[in-house]
């Protein structure tokens, strides 16, 4: 998550290998949020809307070009273009706001077990890892930056069709400090985990189905309150529809005090290739 500043409004971020042929979307999203945040003073991001244009290459860094759209009295707008090998692979529109007080209401947090009463998702089950692509197998048993605990059971594989609902506890391994800009960027990073898989649940499809074609198209996020990603957070996800070769997933993120800290929505390609492809 450390960006190198190349020039005014121009940053470069490293790519992380996660065992696939493309960069993890959450990485590009979080680095773009950090790049935009580096150009804004005394205001925090409150919303973002992003589009994934091309798959990123995990073997090469990504350059982020930040455009200053507007600096108003209460709100600041930025656009970020992520570039790799001379081509745009991702764009982001982000809005930042001065801290304000106002009317408040929110949905109640779902009633779920305490995170310490839910088993940790340490790795992909061996029977699932064995059928995964070779380059993904070496990642399946590696500890990632976040710890997950699935209230509804393991998200890997499929035991048949299920309601499009998923709840997971998560937190960051380690202490990232107190910089709220970094915490919000890391929340954007982790928001791309497990969300879109909710759209697969009614269809009983395994992540390791060779006919499955998945790709994120866009990602939207709203930050409602300050957050610490090194403390337990609940990701409450649902998927209202899959149609036209696409699926839509939504999520609400709560802290252990029951406060809604962020909301997320994502659409992606969800297809099954024909048997002979």
Q: How far apart are CA 149 and CA 153, in angstroms?
A: 8
Q: How far apart are CA 128 and CA 59, in angstroms?
A: 26
What distance lies between CA 163 and its chain's CA centroid? 22
Active site residue 192: yes
Q: Which of 143, 188, 134, 124 is nearest to 21 (CA)?
A: 134
Q: What letter would DSSP give residue 244?
A: T
Residues 6+ positions from 57 with CB-CB distance below 8 Å:
15, 22, 23, 84, 85
What is the SS3 assignment for 9? coil
119 class by beta-carbon count within 10 Å (0-12 exposed, 13-18 middle, 19+ buried) = exposed
CA atoms within 13 A on the CB side of 4: 8
Q: Which of 31, 84, 216, 249 is flagged as catalytic?
A: 216
Mind spelling out the 3-state secondary structure of 105-144? Answer: CCCCCCCCCCHHHCCCCCCCCHHHHCCCCHHHHHHHCCCC
* Residue 72 φ then ψ, to 5°: -100, -175
Active site residue 27: no
Q: Which of 192, 238, 239, 263 is flagged as catalytic?
A: 192
Active site residue 236: no
Residue 170 near residue 147, CB atoms below 8 Å:
yes
Q: Which residues are catalytic?
A: 192, 216, 266
């Amino acid at each position: 998550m450390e960006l190198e500043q190349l020039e005014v409004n121009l940053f470069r971020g490293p790519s992380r290998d996660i065992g696939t042929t493309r960069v993890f979307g959450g990485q590009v999203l979080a680095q773009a949020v950090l790049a935009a945040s580096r150009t804004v003073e005394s205001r925090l991001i409150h919303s973002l809307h992003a589009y994934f244009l091309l798959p990123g290459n995990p073997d090469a860094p990504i350059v982020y070009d930040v455009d200053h759209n507007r600096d108003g009295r209460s709100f600041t707008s930025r656009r970020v273009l992520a570039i790799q090998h001379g081509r745009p692979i991702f764009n982001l529109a982000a809005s930042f706001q001065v801290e304000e007080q106002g009317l408040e209401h929110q949905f109640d947090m779902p009633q779920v077990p305490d995170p310490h009463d839910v088993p940790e998702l340490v790795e992909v089950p061996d029977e699932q890892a064995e059928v995964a692509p070779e380059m993904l197998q070496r990642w399946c048993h590696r500890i990632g930056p976040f710890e997950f605990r699935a209230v509804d059971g393991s998200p890997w594989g499929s035991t048949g069709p299920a309601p499009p609902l998923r709840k997971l506890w998560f937190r960051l391994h380690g202490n990232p400090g107190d910089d709220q800009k970094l915490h919000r960027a890391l929340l954007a990073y982790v928001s791309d985990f497990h969300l879109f898989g909710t759209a697969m649940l009614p269809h009983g499809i395994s992540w390791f189905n060779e006919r499955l074609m998945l790709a994120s198209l866009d990602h939207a996020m709203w930050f409602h309150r300050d957050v610490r990603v090194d403390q337990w957070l609940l990701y409450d996800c649902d998927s209202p529809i899959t149609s036209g070769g696409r699926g839509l997933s939504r999520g609400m993120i709560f802290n252990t005090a029951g406060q809604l800290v962020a909301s997320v929505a994502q659409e992606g390609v969800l297809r099954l290739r024909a048997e002979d492809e």
